[in-house]
Amino acid sequence: MTGTLGNRPNQVPATPASDLDRLFPVGDEMAEILYRTTMSKLRLLRQIALDEASSMQALITEAIDALLVSRGRLPPA
């Protein structure tokens, strides 16, 4: 059974590899992580991103940076 968000199927449309490389660089600059959370937290994160004209990725990056700073372990930019 496929999950849905509203009336849309829970599927990502095919994107050419060159576009993926450009949108989501991997290597020294960016790394991919998978994070699972509850739907209620996901909805709140989406709402904050919408309210701040930001993205969920930017909010998660901000949260990770804040955690690393609070632990005194933020690597140089």
pLDDT score of 74: 72
Mean pLDDT, residues 42-62? 94
pLDDT in tens, 59-68: 998 998 889 8
* Contact in structure between 23 and 16 (CB atoms under 8 Å): no
pLDDT score of 35: 86
Band of the pLDDT at 10, cuts 50, 70, 90?
Answer: low
In this predicted structure, the answer to whether residue 24 has a pLDDT above a threshold of 80 is no
Band of the pLDDT at 33, cuts 50, 70, 90?
Answer: confident
If DSSP codes are grouped into helix, strand and coil, which group holds residue 72?
coil
* Per-position DSSP letters for 4-55, written without gaps between them: EETTEES-PPP--HHHHHHHS--SSS---------HHHHHHHHHHHHHTT--
Whole-structure pTM value: 0.57
